[in-house]
Structure 1
Amino acid sequence: MCTYLTTDELSARIKYDARTIRERLKDSVLLEGIHYVRPFGRRKILYIWEQIEKDLNALSGESSAIRMADGSVCHA
């Protein structure tokens, strides 16, 4: 079962401003079809918490890792 969050709800959980999520993280770090969906083909975006949490935990131990747009990780 997935937990779907609005941008404001995700903002509260990860402590990033909702505007930062929309303008900087969406489509660069948070990818459509992996981290978020647009239900019914609409403008509304719902973030998939379990996938975001999984990626946050995976990267927490990689302090020098750089997340690439395709989902891969570059080790600096």
Structure 2
Amino acid sequence: MTMSYLTTQELAERIKYDVRTIRERLKDNVLIEGIHYIRPFGGRKILYLWEPIERDMGLHSEQEAFAIPMANGGIING
């Protein structure tokens, strides 16, 4: 299976999020190292894996369709 590797800027353009939002809010919270992104050759550079991100974007929105957000950041399923 061929993977599509994206920089943070390329991912931001594809999912219509700001680069800063991806780095500060999504990385390590929603986007998990080894699943959604890698650090090639053990370096600092991050490459995002498009196929797992695309697959999981739909999962989260389906699961939280009837979720009620709470002030502490959690959710209650309605």
Compute the TM-score of the two structures, normalised by the length of structure 1: 0.81
Separation in 2, partners of 1:3, 1:31: 16
Q: Is the 8 A contact 1:59 1:65 kept in 2?
A: no
- Equivalent-residue separation in structure 2 for 1:29 and 1:16 (angstroms): 14
**What residue is the counterpart of 2:56 in the other structure?**
55
Q: Which runs of 4+ in 1 moved over 4 A?
A: none
TM-score by length of 2: 0.79
Q: What are the Cα deviations for residues 28-72 of structure 1, in whole angstroms up to 9, with x where unaligned?
A: 000000000000000000000000000012223232288xxxxxx
The answer as to whether partners of 1:36 and 1:46 remain within 8 angstroms in 2 is: yes
Higher relative contact order (CA 8 A, sep 6+): 1
Whose radius of gyration is greater, 1 or 2?
2
Please list every run of 5 or more consecutive structure 2 residues that lacks an aligned counterpart in the other structure. Answer: 70-74
Q: Percent identity?
A: 61
Residue of structure 2 in register with 1:22 after alignment: 23
Given that 1:38 and 1:46 are in contact with CA atoms closer than 8 Å, whether structure 2 keeps it comes out as: yes
Give aligned pairs, total: 69
